[in-house]
């Protein structure tokens, strides 16, 4: 029996988690990171968003009302979008290599990666994650999912602003030119 769209999305998110876990063993030593307060704020907002997106607790009232019809084609389109987003995020994570961190940091001998997915977007992991989140929300089809997308977008934009500031400090000559060439999230748009 073929997996349903929800299972496909679950496998895609599990692949992201696995790549993140395996990648932890090869990251460089952290030399500077964001303060704990902004980090905890971003994590709390993200946790709320992911709970809305995938949790069972918010499936009542207006949050459980569907914003799209409950059709197999729409759910499968959401799964395809989520898989593409997860694959893009994984590609970006692999391209970043040992410079990666789950929090905003500067690593020892940090390199400014501008090739591969980083030639398309300055924050391709966030681009991929937002695409995966949007696909997951489309498959879910309820207003709680729309609210989750908004909350998770806010969490990623907050984290991205912290990262931009740290990269400007770390690469004061190279990063401004990179910012001019490559958009933050969506090529040619944002």
187 vs 84: CA distance, rounded Å: 16
Domain 41-102+112-181 in CATH 3.20.20.210: no
Angle, CA 123 vertex, CA 148 and CA 137 arms, to 5°: 20
Return the pLDDT at 175: 97
Q: Are 111 and 150 in contact (CB under 8 A)?
A: no
- The pTM of this model reads 0.94
Return the pLDDT at 53: 95
pLDDT in tens, the chain (190 residues): 778 999 999 999 999 999 999 998 989 999 999 899 999 999 999 999 999 999 888 888 999 999 999 899 999 999 999 999 999 999 999 999 999 998 999 999 999 999 999 999 999 999 999 999 999 999 999 999 999 999 999 999 999 999 999 999 999 999 999 999 999 998 877 7
131 vs 122: CA distance, rounded Å: 15
107 vs 27: CA distance, rounded Å: 8
């Amino acid at each position: 029996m073929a997996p349903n769209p929800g299972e496909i999305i679950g496998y895609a998110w599990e692949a992201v988690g696995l790549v993140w876990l395996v990648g932890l063993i090869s990251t460089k030593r952290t030399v500077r990171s964001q303060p704990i307060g902004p980090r905890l704020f971003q994590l709390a907002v993200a946790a709320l968003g992911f709970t809305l997106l995938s949790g069972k607790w918010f499936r009542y009232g207006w949050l459980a009302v569907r914003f799209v019809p409950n059709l197999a084609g729409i759910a499968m389109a959401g799964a395809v979008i989520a898989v593409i987003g997860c694959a893009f995020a994984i590609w970006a994570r692999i391209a970043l290599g040992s410079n990666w961190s789950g929090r905003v940091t500067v690593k020892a001998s940090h390199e400014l990666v501008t090739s591969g997915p980083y030639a398309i977007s300055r924050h391709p992991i966030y681009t991929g994650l937002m695409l995966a989140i949007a696909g997951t929300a489309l498959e879910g089809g309820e207003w709680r999912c729309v609210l989750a997308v908004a909350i998770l977008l806010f969490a990623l934009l907050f984290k991205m602003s912290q990262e931009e500031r740290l990269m400007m400090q770390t690469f004061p000559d190279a990063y401004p030119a990179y910012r001019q060439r490559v958009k933050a999230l969506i090529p040619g748009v944002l």
